[in-house]
Amino acid sequence: MSRFLVVRALTLLAGLFLASLIIFVSLRLLPGDVAQVIGGTSASPSQVEAIRERLGLNVPLPLQYLDWLGGVFTGQLGNSVVSGTPIAAEIAQKAQVTVPLTIYSLAIALIVALPLGVFAAYRRKALPSRVISVLGVVAAAVPAVWAGLLGTPLLIATGQVLFKLTSGTTGDFGLKGLAALAFNPLLLLALAIYGAGTVIWIFVLKAVPLTIGYSFMALTFCFVPLFASLFLGEALTLRYAVGAFLIIGGMLVINT
């Protein structure tokens, strides 16, 4: 077990090193002169040379990489060549949205993704299992804000399916029925998913305007019929498919 952990740790460190090296070299191989871009077209050769000296672009590339790597380990990331503000401050500002979204995404992974993953493994040849697998790969590949924009409608659609399943287990309307409903595990799970989606949505709105973000809620009209067909056996007609394409087309018009 200890050997396995050591190998995994070394593999992680080697992957991080190679990724940093590839990114660093790729940025240096891009056409154009960063110093000339910062100085502008009116900058004299001496001014451009001074900028290059200040940024450390005159030293050999391996030394530039080691200097950059040392700054990463010491927290001295320097200033952005675009805005001139400290890079650490910009990362901290973006982290106010990204970190909470990541935390709540992990919580949802335990609440929703883990049971769905078990279902997908148990029924690996069924259509719902394949859909879940594809959605899982897509969700892992998109940035945090986009995961929130697309994931919140997915959570709402999941909650609607659970509400429908809950309705099949409830009795008559009355005190006894309401008391039983209050402890219904399907209802509690649906409310938990709705609550998680609400919290994620609040952090998404810190990164995007409401007029743009709320248009993504229209995706619930696409996801709910799809989930109802996959998990409840309800009919998915051509009318729903045409409506879904129109909704997606409307979103593209709003956001472009």
pTM over 0.85: no
pLDDT at residue 243, as a whole number? 84
C-alpha–C-alpha distance, residues 80 and 66, integer Å: 18
Structure tokens at 65: 């990489």
Q: Is the dihedral of CA 224, 227, 233, 239 positive or negative?
A: positive
Would you write out the chain's pLDDT as a tens digit for each of its 256 residues? 577 777 777 887 787 777 777 777 776 666 666 676 667 777 777 877 787 777 777 777 788 788 777 777 777 777 776 666 777 777 777 777 777 777 776 776 666 666 766 766 766 666 666 666 666 666 665 677 777 888 888 889 988 999 998 888 776 777 777 777 777 888 888 888 888 888 888 888 888 888 888 888 988 988 888 888 888 888 888 888 888 888 888 877 777 6
Coil, helix or strand at residue 132: helix
What residues contact 147, with CB distance under 8 A and at least 6 apart? 101, 105, 139
C-alpha–C-alpha distance, residues 216 and 219, integer Å: 6
DSSP state letter for 124: T
User: Amino acid identity, residue 225?
Assistant: P
Q: Is the dihedral of CA 13, 18, 19, 20 positive or negative?
A: positive
Q: What is the DSSP code string of 43-93?
A: --HHHHHHHHHHHTTTS-HHHHHHHHHHHHHHT---B-TTT-SBHHHHHHH
Coil, helix or strand at residue 85: coil
* Residues comprising the chain, all counted: 256
**Extents of the domains making up the chain:** 2-85, 91-254
Q: Do 247 and 222 form a contact (C-beta atoms < 8 A)?
A: yes
pLDDT at residue 133, as a whole number? 65
pLDDT at residue 238, as a whole number? 84
C-alpha–C-alpha distance, residues 111 and 103, integer Å: 13
Contacts for 138-147 with beta carbons within 8 Å, 24 or more apart? 144/97, 144/98, 144/101, 144/102, 144/105, 145/97, 145/98, 145/101, 145/204, 145/207, 145/208, 147/101, 147/105
C-alpha–C-alpha distance, residues 78 and 102, integer Å: 26
